[in-house]
Amino acid sequence: MKKSNTAVNLWIVGSIGIDDIKTRTSDRKNLMGGSLPFSTAAASFFTTTGAVGVVGGDFPAAFDRRWKAFGTDLAGVQRKEGATFRWACVYDNNMIERETLKTELGVFADFMPELPESYRRAPFVLLGNIQPELQLHVLKQSAGAKFVALDTMNLWIDIAKPALRRVIRRVDLLTVNDGEARLLTGKWNLCDCAAAIHKMGPAYVIIKKGEHGALLFSKRGVFIVPAYPVRKLVDPTGAGDSYAGAFMGYLARAGRVTDGVLREALLHASAVASFSVEGFSLECLERLTLAQIGKRVAELKRMMAV
Amino acid sequence: MKKSNTAVNLWIVGSIGIDDIKTRTSDRKNLMGGSLPFSTAAASFFTTTGAVGVVGGDFPAAFDRRWKAFGTDLAGVQRKEGATFRWACVYDNNMIERETLKTELGVFADFMPELPESYRRAPFVLLGNIQPELQLHVLKQSAGAKFVALDTMNLWIDIAKPALRRVIRRVDLLTVNDGEARLLTGKWNLCDCAAAIHKMGPAYVIIKKGEHGALLFSKRGVFIVPAYPVRKLVDPTGAGDSYAGAFMGYLARAGRVTDGVLREALLHASAVASFSVEGFSLECLERLTLAQIGKRVAELKRMMAV
């Protein structure tokens, strides 16, 4: 664990990986991947963000440098002996369906997240998609958490539902895709899914629908936010993580959760995610500026203005 | 053919059927169906609308009465000896996928649409989803057409592409779903699909994405309009037809096609389609008022307000 002096405003726990990704036009190897680089990089456009994860001895120093260049605090990233989590996939022609070719957990198999001292008073928390027990473990170390968001996936709904329900009970916002929402609640209609999730605890539910945008359900109503229509889809990997990271980064910068802030956060998340998929790994986010994000948010607003 | 004295502002050609529909909770037989009753009923909320189609001797007089109650002009509906088009389907649990159990064309097999005199000067036209040759045949009878929209389906893209391209060249707006847009253009990205369709002729392209809403592409940009999140999905049959009908009805009422009118037309189409799926056949549209449509449009605007 590295020393950190800056108190972060938001911390995120998640996976860090090295990815091989094949699309119909490209075949790229050894890319910085996992949910955490995407989510923290996206959040770092808006607020001081700390990363909680684990890498092996093979994690390239260049990846550390590129990650830090976003301003992300890496004090929460443990460096262990062994291999970094490795993942390989191939995308269908539609760039939506994908087949996983390889999953080698490496040091991620024994990951036990520990919160650096400088993260413990952070008001905003995003529990990225890892085992629910570990999400709970690290959340308990967080004395200052005021607004906690949780991401999860079908695997944990299938094999760890009781633990997952314990975490869900403690968070303010759950973010799931439409299939996961249905799997978690046993309901078909997304409004019914959201109502069932509200009853489990979270005041806010974001249902992500990929290229179709997202719905945010609060007890006061629904916000609908479309995805930005991407003209140059290069690699969808990490889109959901960039989305969640940018959303929480925006909230954390605002420092409060009002309807107006939530709407703007959703639009900024759409914009950042749309850039993320225009390149492999973090390549597009690395060239991105706040001005470009603002421009795309304005475009989105024009597209949906009523 | 019946006599008609009212000049209509919009006419629509399409199929008229008697449907059997099974969902996970219901099994309904002998419902008024086909694209035309949905599209013309939806349009009739906004403007004087004429229907061009064919029914057999078995088409119940009660269906005629219910249809006319929307204010729809039925002068263009031919009554032939033989059986009305019959269709049966069963919906999957998700209420999106469906399996066709029966298609009996009946008198629809020899349908040759003829435009009543009182329709020939109508400025707005919706060519519903029938054989492209017939769409062309009836369009040629329409001296007054100023704004023509075209709906089609994968079947015609597969088996009648040359004829379909000839109709497409003559229309102002093409409405297709995302799968059809890809099939027609051979492109994956919906922005690329729309650009390719613009080159085929239409100045406007609506890509319908069902419960995910729709995109309208003009040469000036993109409008994104979400679907209204339906709480009580009873029968999705006819949603796309109600959508297209309400859209064209709204345009026809406005009498001009500006960006502002297009946006409002899309929102009203979303609202009407959302009511349409809350009941079988036209049952929900029959109870619907303009005030309720307006209320749902206002709700949609709040959900997407930025």
pLDDT tens by residue, chain A, 306 residues:
445 557 899 999 999 999 999 998 899 999 999 999 999 999 999 999 999 999 999 999 999 999 999 999 999 999 999 999 999 999 988 787 899 999 999 999 999 999 999 999 999 999 999 999 999 999 999 999 999 999 999 999 999 999 999 999 999 999 999 999 999 999 988 999 999 999 999 999 999 998 899 999 998 999 999 999 998 899 999 999 999 999 999 999 999 999 999 999 999 999 999 999 999 999 999 999 999 999 999 999 999 987
Task: State residue B93's pLDDT score.
Answer: 80
Q: CA B18 to CA B281: how far, in whole Å?
A: 10
Mean pLDDT of B211-236: 93
Task: State residue A5's pLDDT score.
Answer: 57
Q: What is the pLDDT of residues B129-169, one digit of tens each?
A: 999 999 999 999 999 999 999 999 999 999 999 999 999 99
Nearest CB among A94, A229, A231 relative to B215 is that of A229
User: Does A88 touch chain B if contact means CB atoms closer than 8 Å?
Assistant: no
Q: Grade residue B4 by pLDDT with cuts at 50, 70 and 90.
A: low
B24 is a domain residue: yes
Nearest CB among B301, B303, B306 relative to A301 is that of B306
Contact criterion met (CB below 8 Å) for A58 and A72: no
Mean pLDDT of B247-254: 98
- ipTM for the complex? 0.82
Q: CA A279 to CA B280: how far, in whole Å?
A: 46
Q: What is the pLDDT of residues B54-97, one digit of tens each?
A: 999 999 999 999 999 999 999 999 999 999 999 999 998 878 78
- Residue B51: name the closest of B61, B43, B60 by CA: B43
User: How many A×B Cβ pairs under 8 Å?
Assistant: 74
Residue B117: Cβ within 10 Å count: 11
Contact criterion met (CB below 8 Å) for B216 and B248: no
Q: CA A292 to CA A281: how far, in whole Å?
A: 19
Which residue does chain B place closest to A24, by CA atoms?
B188
Test mutation, B23, B187, B209, B224, chain A, max A CBs within 10 A: B224
Contact criterion met (CB below 8 Å) for A223 and A232: no
Residue A264: Cβ within 10 Å count: 18
Task: State residue B66's pLDDT score.
Answer: 98
- Classify residue A8 by its DSSP letter: P
User: Does B229 touch chain A if contact means CB atoms closer than 8 Å?
Assistant: yes
Instruction: Give me the amino acid identity at B3.
Output: K
Task: State residue B1's pLDDT score.
Answer: 41
Contact criterion met (CB below 8 Å) for B8 and B119: yes
Tell me the two tokens of residue A89. Answer: 């996939």
Q: CA B175 to CA B150: how far, in whole Å?
A: 6
User: Does B302 touch chain A if contact means CB atoms closer than 8 Å?
Assistant: yes
Enclosing H/E stretch for A148: strand A147-151
Enclosing H/E stretch for B73: strand B73-79
Which residue does chain B place closest to A192, by CA atoms?
B231
- Classify residue A235 by its DSSP letter: -
Query: Domain of B186: which CATH number?
Result: 3.40.1190.20
A4 is a domain residue: no
- Given CA atoms B211, A213, A295, A93 in this order, what sign does their dihedral have? negative
B266 is a domain residue: yes
Give the strand order in the sheet containing A85-91. A27-33, A17-22, A85-91, A98-104
Task: State residue B95's pLDDT score.
Answer: 80
Nearest CB among B95, B229, B267 relative to A215 is that of B229
Q: CA B6 to CA B71: how far, in whole Å?
A: 11
Q: Are strands B17-22 and B85-91 parallel, antiparallel or unpaired?
A: parallel
Contact A225 B267 (CB under 8 A): no
Contact A191 B229 (CB under 8 A): yes
Contact criterion met (CB below 8 Å) for A227 and A208: no
Instruction: Specify the pTM.
Output: 0.90
Q: Give chain A positions within 8 Å (CB) of B263.
A: 305-306
Contact A212 B212 (CB under 8 A): yes
Domain tally, chain B: 1
Q: Specify burial of residue A25 (Cβ count, 10 A radius: 0-12, 13-18, 19+).
A: exposed
Task: State residue A1's pLDDT score.
Answer: 41
Which residue does chain A place closest to B94, by CA atoms?
A188
- Residue A14: name the closest of A80, A106, A81, A85 by CA: A85
**What range does the domain containing B265 cover?**
10-304
Q: CA B238 to CA B38: how far, in whole Å?
A: 6
Q: Give chain B positions within 8 Å (CB) of A306.
A: 263, 267, 300-301, 304-305
Task: State residue A94's pLDDT score.
Answer: 77
Q: Give chain B positions within 8 Å (CB) of A188.
A: 93-95, 233
Which residue does chain A place closest to B262, by CA atoms?
A306
Residue B226 above 80 pLDDT? yes
Task: State residue A121's pLDDT score.
Answer: 96
More confident residue, B111 or A94: B111
Instruction: Give me the amino acid identity at A42.
Output: A
Which residue does chain B place closest to A212, by CA atoms?
B212
Q: CA B240 to CA B154: how far, in whole Å?
A: 14
Contact A229 B188 (CB under 8 A): no
Q: Give chain A positions within 8 Å (CB) of B223.
A: 303-304
A5 is a domain residue: no
B18 is a domain residue: yes
A2 is a domain residue: no
Q: Which residue has the tokens 């050609």?
A: B13
Task: State residue A24's pLDDT score.
Answer: 87
Selected residues 178-207 of chain A with any CB under 8 Å from a CB in chain B: 188-192
What is the end-to-end Cα distance of chain A in Å, rounded?
A: 50
Mean pLDDT of B3-21: 88
B3 is a domain residue: no
Contact criterion met (CB below 8 Å) for B222 and B198: no
Q: Give chain A positions within 8 Å (CB) of B94.
A: 188
Torsion of CA B164, B166, B171, B175, to 10 degrees: 20
Tell me the two tokens of residue A274. Answer: 């749309």
Residue A139: Cβ within 10 Å count: 19
Contact A226 B213 (CB under 8 A): yes
Which residue does chain B place closest to A262, by CA atoms?
B306
- Which residues have C-beta within 8 Å of that of residue B32, sequence separation ≥ 6? B18, B19, B63, B66, B67, B281, B282
Task: State residue A4's pLDDT score.
Answer: 53
User: Does B144 touch chain A if contact means CB atoms closer than 8 Å?
Assistant: no
Q: Specify burial of residue B26 (Cβ count, 10 A radius: 0-12, 13-18, 19+).
A: exposed
Q: Which residue has the tokens 């998929």?
A: A277
Q: Specify burial of residue A104 (Cβ count, 10 A radius: 0-12, 13-18, 19+).
A: middle
A3 is a domain residue: no
What radius of gyration, in Å, describes the C-alpha atoms of chain B? Answer: 18
